[in-house]
Structure 1
Amino acid sequence: MSGSDSAAATSRYSAFLFDMDGTILNSIAAAERIWGVWALRHGLDVASFLPTIHGARAVDTVARLALPGVDPEQEAIGITLAEIADVEGIVEISGAADFLRSLPADKWAVVTSAPRDLAARRMKAAGIPVPAVLVTAEDVAAGKPHPDGYLLAASKLNVDARDCLVFEDAAVGIAAGEAAGATVMVVTATHFHPLASPHPSINSYETMFTEIDSDGLMLLQERGA
């Protein structure tokens, strides 16, 4: 565990809230295959466009482009169907599946910008357990960087978001966690370049484990630290 702020490593939390893509599984290759084809079809510069797709809902990504004659809702449906059909190369972030299985079912959730069917498909492909609380693109009116998803997940777990630790990898997701009032842990496994962030970070879950105190609060620990 690294980072200038050690609070996340010493605090106890009511729940852990995880982003999906880039945080508990790596779907970059599959996502960029689908979005690359879409970008070419619409005359976009693929190299500059692809870095903008991560962490946000497909409908928000398309809407942000404001392409003439393009319906973001319809485009997002087509992109999602293509992504559901293509899960080749999707893998867990190292150690994520075992780490998640070690957590009490009522103390963690996944909050993703992906639609529910796509989230379930990707988690299955990566061997990630599906949580009791899964908040997806359909569940919120405003996606990340808005805090709605994390606030909803905390509510479903009957905890305060300010007492949660959010695991994120993308700037929009980090902003959502901050806006929810949660503590943020950055997962850097899929980062090709350092992400400027004041938050502590982990590269994998291989050495991570949790302790639960007498009040039922969780402490994130690292073996050998």
Structure 2
Amino acid sequence: MNRTIAALFDLDGVIVDTESQYSIYWNNVGVKYLSDPDRFGDKVKGNTLRQIFEKYFSGREEIQQEIVENLDKWEHDMSYDYIPGILDFLNCLRKNDVKTAIVTSSNDVKMANLYREHPDIKSYFDVIVTANQISRSKPDPECYLLAAKLLDADIQNCYVFEDSLAGLAAGRAAGMTVVGLSTTLPFSRIEDKADIVISDFREFDFDKLMSIKRS
């Protein structure tokens, strides 16, 4: 059995504190294009652009293009502050020979904005999986299974860190141990969808990760 341990991290709401900014953008999209005042951002959280367009804007190419152009501008100007404790935790994983990956629904254009603000972020991860590398998005487990394959890690030794319902479901469907972060949704919304829920990475280390019991 391959004994490689791997930690697989969603990006928004897990590594960087951006979800509230996305909620503002997508809520505005819902009001403008769908006459939907009921927090459209919550409905599309964790979905790729392709999923959003297929479900809500199918056949409306001009609107899709407007949304993409406006989203690119929005992401360019967003702040990408780290979730508290994440860098210390990543360094701790490195010291314990844990392989790491970013597994995100973001595309390569968005990632370029992240790299511009945090040019050192790539050094913390062995693999980065984006929306451009997969055909099926969360809650499908394809992205996490791909990351495990690229890291040469058995799924039994993989730990998924997620904040969204779609992401948590993807980790479960992949058969991996799931750590939920209550950075985006309250504890009560995700506690039954993860093996453990944490508020952020402060006071969370390798030993606590290894003590998690899979449900």
Shorter-chain TM-score: which interval?
A: 0.7 to 0.9
SS in 1 for 2:23: helix
Which residue is equivalent to 1:91?
A: 81
- Quickly say closer, same or farther: Cα 1:48–1:29, change in 2 above 3 A: closer
Indicate the structure whose relative CO is greater, using CA pairs within 8 Å and at least 6 residues apart.
1
User: Is residue 14–residue 164 contact of structure 1 (8 Å, CA) maintained in 2?
Assistant: yes
Deviates more, 1:92-101 or 1:58-67: 58-67
**What's the counterpart of residue 48 of structure 2?**
57
Question: Are 1:22 and 1:169, in contact at CA under 8 Å, matched by a contact in 2?
Answer: yes
| CA offsets 1:73-131 (integer angstroms, 9 cap, x no match) | 6466435412332213x322111122123322760101000112313423654787222
- Name the amino acid aligned to 2:176: A
How far does the alpha carbon of each residue in 1:18-45 deviate from its partner, in whole angstroms, 9 at most, with x for none? 1111112210232133323333331331
State the Cα distance separating 1:208 from its structure 2 match. Answer: 1.1
Q: Hey, what's the Cα distance between the residues in 1 that align with 2:39 and 2:152?
A: 41
Gaps of 5+ in 2: none
Question: Aligned pair 1:101/2:101, yes or no?
Answer: no
Alignment match, 1:6 = none
Over the aligned positions, Cα root-mean-square deviation in angstroms equals: 2.9
Match of 1:189 in 2: 183
- Structure with more of its chain in helix, by fraction: 2
Equivalent pair of 1:13/1:219 in contact (CA under 8 Å): no
CA offset digits 1:29-63 (Å, max 9, x no partner): 32133323333331331433111122111221222
Q: CA deviation at 1:166?
A: 0.4
1:14-163 pair list within 5 angstroms = 14-67=5-58, 69-70=60-61, 74=65, 77-88=68-79, 90-104=80-94, 107-122=99-114, 125=117, 129-130=121-122, 131-163=125-157
The alpha carbon displacement at 1:149 in A equals 0.6
Q: What percent identity do the matched residue pairs reach?
A: 28
Specify every segment of 5 or more residues in structure 1 that has no aligned partner in the other structure, as ranges. Answer: 1-11, 212-217
Whole-angstrom CA distance in 2 between matches of 1:164 and 1:53: 26
TM-score (structure 1 length as normaliser)? 0.77
Match of 1:167 in 2: 161
Q: Quick one: which of 182, 197, 201 aligns to 1:205?
A: 201
Which structure's residues are more often strand, by fraction?
1
Q: 1:179 aligns with which of 173, 183, 191?
A: 173
